[in-house]
Amino acid sequence: MSLMIRGGTVVTADQTIQADVYCENGKVVQFGPNLDVPSNAEIIDAGGQYVMPGGIDPHTHMQLPFMGTVASEDFYTGTAAGLAGGTTCIIDFVIPAPQQSLMEAYKQWREWAEKAVSDYSFHVAVTWWDDSVHKDMGTLVHEYGVNSFKHFMAYKGAIMADDEILVNSFTRAWELGALPTVHAENGELVWQLQRKLLAMGITGPEGHPQSRPPEVEGEAANRAIRIAQTLKTPVYLVHVSAREALEAIVRARNEGQRVFGEVLAGHLVIDDSVYLDQDFTKAAAHVMSPPFRPKDHQRDLWHGLQSGNLQTTATDHCCFCADQKAAGKDNFSKIPNGTGGIENRMEVLWNEGVNTGRLTMNEFVRVTSTNTAQIFNMYPNKGTIAEGADADIVVWDPTATKIISAKTHHQNVDYNIFEGMNVTGTASHTISQGKIVFKDGELIVERGAGRYINRPPFAPYFDAVAKMRDRTSPISVKR
């Protein structure tokens, strides 16, 4: 099986050049101008188009059991929708129930993911603590290719990690050379604010953002960062949505701390007015955590991405249909939290980032693919186009236009948060493992073709942190 992508402009994080890309057996084997085309090769004419590394979405929740229901998008439909938008790899989350063994949950998620049509990997959440969790973290890192652990600082009474769990887990992650990640919202404040708003008779979706104001995210972000600083471990903040959280990241990075931040396509372009919609279904469709913010936060998030203080873009793809959202008709705190977007992340980022001049094309590649591959240690197999890299590629037509709509999307959900958005620039072809899996609007996918991607520990940035840590060993005075 061989494929020649001919006549395009190759764009990676660090170069833009006219080159052909020849793929064989799932890998890029040759890359350069005017390559000879083997007689049996399939050919894509990429003239006038950009040839870029496939997108990597580091934050999805396919078929997640959550808030009394299960996310409607499964690993088959969800990875297929990703391919339709140029995303060729996801990192999803194993989320053990409190007291459930991490290994048991991990094996369950691996089984669910066997139907994936694109490559995938897993972060594992630490939702409780005892010696078995300590041991299982080691097993996951050493034997199962997991190098990142997730901590929900919200969802009190369910999966919330308190400070004791954070300290234990961050310490263990450090020992293992794994990266702790956090959903930063103060779960106690959310809980109390929800009770207060409901007691005041505010039961509709407008109560959702009021119960999770930016300060709630800022407090948790700062706490997680300070805990990481004390333990001298790097930390990664998922879905940074508020200026207050970004400020905590910028301050820490300016002081030399190794802190990473992710931003969602949705938080960059949608504001909190969506929760005031008269139509419950529309307002509830936007209920996710952290919520969409007042418009001025978007400007700051863009600046965060442009300055490099935020490094990755994601979707938190976690779909619930209107009948599922209706569980919170009389109580906003019971609306299943989650929105979709995996199919649209790349085109929204291109339209609002590259077409507006906020991002160069190389920066676009960096924030949609390369940085994620590097931070989570999948690079250079993923995240670039180079000889020997995985042939996960998107051919991007910068002139194609599209109106995003739930009527035409491939996502298994009845709503699209980007509904009606007119984008210029979209995937004409997506290549996964060297095969064309999306072409001119049609998916050509094979159930189960996706592979689990092992991510080894000790990404390069750990060496730097280790050196810093060695310089600051505890002081002991002999008396």
Residues 6 or more apart whose CB falls under 8 angstroms from that of 291 comprise: 208, 209, 212, 241, 272, 275
- Interacting residue with ligand DUC among 337, 374, 428, 433 (CB under 6 A): 337
Comparing CB distances to Zn ion, the nearer of 315 and 416 is 315
Nearer to Zn ion, 345 or 429 (CB): 345
DSSP 40: T
Binding of ligand DUC at residue 316 (CB under 6 A)?
Answer: yes
- 183 binds ligand DUC, rule: CB under 6 A: yes
* Residue 338 interacts with, from ligand DUC, Zn ion, none (CB under 5-8 Å by kind): ligand DUC
State how far the alpha carbon of 78 is from the alpha carbons of 1, 83, 117, 263, 455, in Å: 26, 9, 9, 20, 21
Q: At its nearest, how many Å lie between ligand DUC and the CB of residue 205?
A: 13
Q: Compute the half-sphere exposure of residue 117: CA atoms within 13 Å on the CB side of its CA.
A: 23
| Binding residue for Zn ion, selected from 123, 150, 151, 183, defined by CB under 5 A | 183
Nearest to 186 by CA among 94, 260, 310, 289: 289
Cα(324)–Cα(315) distance, integer angstroms: 20
Give the nearer residue to Zn ion in terms of CB position, either 183 or 258: 183
Q: What amino acid occupies position 174?
A: W
Give the CB-side neighbour count of residue 3, counting CA atoms within 13 A: 23
Amino acid identity at 302: W
Residue-wise DSSP of 246-271: HHHHHHHHHTT--EEEEEEHHHHH-B
Contact 63, 73 (CB under 8 A): yes
CA-closest candidate to residue 114, choices 143, 81, 76? 76
Comparing CB distances to Zn ion, the nearer of 339 and 433 is 339
Pair of tokens at residue 315: 């979707």
- Residue 219 touches which of Zn ion, ligand DUC, none (CB < 5 to 8 A by kind)? none
Spatial neighbors of 273 by CB under 8 A, at least 6 apart, are: none
Q: Which of 219, 300, 316, 392 binds Zn ion (CB under 5 A)?
A: 316
Binding segment toward Zn ion, per CB under 5 A, in 180-188, 251-259, 369-377, 402-410: 180-188
User: CA-to-CA distance for 379 and 376, rounded, in angstroms?
Assistant: 8
Interface of this chain with ligand DUC, residues 317 to 336, rule: CB under 6 A? 318
Smallest separation (angstroms) from Zn ion to the CB of 40: 43
Does 57 interact with Zn ion (rule: CB under 5 A)?
no
Q: How far is the CB of 134 from ligand DUC (least distance, A)?
A: 24
Among 6, 28, 52, 61, binds ligand DUC (CB under 6 A): 61
What minimum distance in Å lies between the beta carbon of 91 and Zn ion? Answer: 11
Which of the residues 269 through 298 are near ligand DUC (CB under 6 A)? 288-289
Specify the residue, 124 or 385, whose C-beta has the smaller distance to ligand DUC: 124
Among Zn ion, ligand DUC, none, the one that 288 touches (CB under a kind-dependent 5 to 8 A) is: ligand DUC
Which residue's CB comes closest to ligand DUC? Answer: 288
Q: Does 62 bind ligand DUC (CB under 6 A)?
A: no
- Rank residues 12 and 241 by Cβ distance to Zn ion and give the closer one: 241
Contact with ligand DUC (CB under 6 A): which of 180, 338, 353, 434? 338
Residue 48: both structure tokens together: 């006038």
Cα-Cα-Cα-Cα dihedral sign, residues 136, 312, 445, 25: negative
Q: Is 377 in the site for ligand DUC (CB under 6 A)?
A: no
Residues 107-166 that bind ligand DUC (CB under 6 A): none
Stretch in the footprint of Zn ion (CB under 5 A) among 3-11, 176-184, 243-251, 292-300: 176-184
Stretch that binds Zn ion, among 43-51, 181-189, 191-199, 305-313 (CB under 5 A): 181-189
Burial of 111 (0-12, 13-18, 19+ CB in 10 A): exposed
Nearer to ligand DUC, 325 or 382 (CB): 325
Q: Cβ closer to ligand DUC: 42 or 188?
A: 188
d(CA 440, CA 45) in angstroms, rounded, equals 12
Residue number with CB closer to Zn ion (118 or 315): 315
- Nearest-CB residue to Zn ion? 183
Tell me the number of residues near ligand DUC by CB under 6 A: 9
- Closer residue to Zn ion in complex, CB, 53/55: 55
Paired strand residues for 92: 60, 122
Instruction: State the amino acid at position 330 in one-letter form.
Output: D
Buried b (16+ CB within 10 A) or exposed e, 114-145: ebbbbbbbbbbbbbbbeeebbebbeebbeebb
3-state class percentages of the chain: helix first, strand second, coil last, to nearest 5? 35, 25, 40
Give min distance, CB of 66 to ligand DUC, in A.
Answer: 6
Nearer to ligand DUC, 102 or 288 (CB): 288
| Residues forming the site for ligand DUC (CB under 6 A) | 61, 66, 183, 288-289, 316, 318, 337-338
Contacting positions for Zn ion (CB under 5 A): 183, 316
